Amino acid sequence: AIDVDLRPKMLFYAVKHLYNPVVGNAHWNTTHMVFYVVNQLGRPVNFDFDLFLYDTSSTRSLYEWGVKGISEPTSSTDVFSISKTSLQEHCRALQKCFVAVEFEVKSESIRTVDVARPGFDWADLSLAPPSLTVEVVKKKEDRVVIKLKTTRIALWVWLEANQPGIFSHNFFPMYVPEMFLEFIPNQMSDQCCKIRVTSLYDH
């Protein structure tokens, strides 16, 4: 998952959150979107789920849910679900919609973002060009701060720099108009950093 120039590839960013001691996400069981937590710690933890229903035409959510709870140790638990009927109340054409899943365990400094589809293949999703732009807005001693903007939903945003290093976030769904992240080069230089951005729409 890391190339010969020590640049993490997509797989690195796609799976690194799976090594968190607490993981939260969703799966589809034909009639419901089920949200679950896997807790591999030896103690209970408080968690937060924030969920946003979108279609692909806008960065404005159609509906939002928020759920808090406690996950018991060494367990995988379905914590709640949303029915297909409930989803259709807010998005009639479900094949054009998806749910953004934000999961957080503050005590462990864990925060992940993912997306889930209500029973449809990702290949069936019609995407519009997102018009992504990227800009380095601040240079620190060992890293740079990057501002990323989009006009529409951008799935699996991928950032590449002109030198080896690690992004604080990469290969992620972007459903907000603007966000900030960091790039930490292996070695800071005057040439750092030129950033290129693409998304699923480009591939």
Provide, rounded to the nearest whole percent, the portion of the chain with pLDDT above 70.
99
**C-alpha span between 163 and 170 (Å, rounded):** 15
Model confidence pTM above 0.95 = no
Band of the pLDDT at 150, cuts 50, 70, 90? Answer: very high
**The pLDDT of residue 109 is above 80:** yes
Q: Annotate 35-55 with DSSP letters as a single string.
A: EEEEE-SSS-EEEEEEEEEEE
**pLDDT tens-digit map of 54-75:** 988 788 899 999 999 999 887 7
**C-alpha span between 164 and 162 (Å, rounded):** 7
Per-residue pLDDT at 141: 87
Once rounded to an integer, what is the mean pLDDT over residues 166-188? 92
Q: What is the total residue count of the chain?
A: 203
Largest pairwise CA distance in the chain = 55
**pLDDT tens-digit map of 118-132:** 777 777 777 788 889
DSSP state of 2: B
Band of the pLDDT at 184, cuts 50, 70, 90? Answer: very high
Q: 55-80: string of b/e by CB count within 10 Å (b at 16+)?
A: bbeebebebeeeeeeebeeeeeeebe
**pLDDT tens-digit map of 72-105:** 887 788 988 999 888 889 987 877 888 999 999 9
Per-residue pLDDT at 129: 86
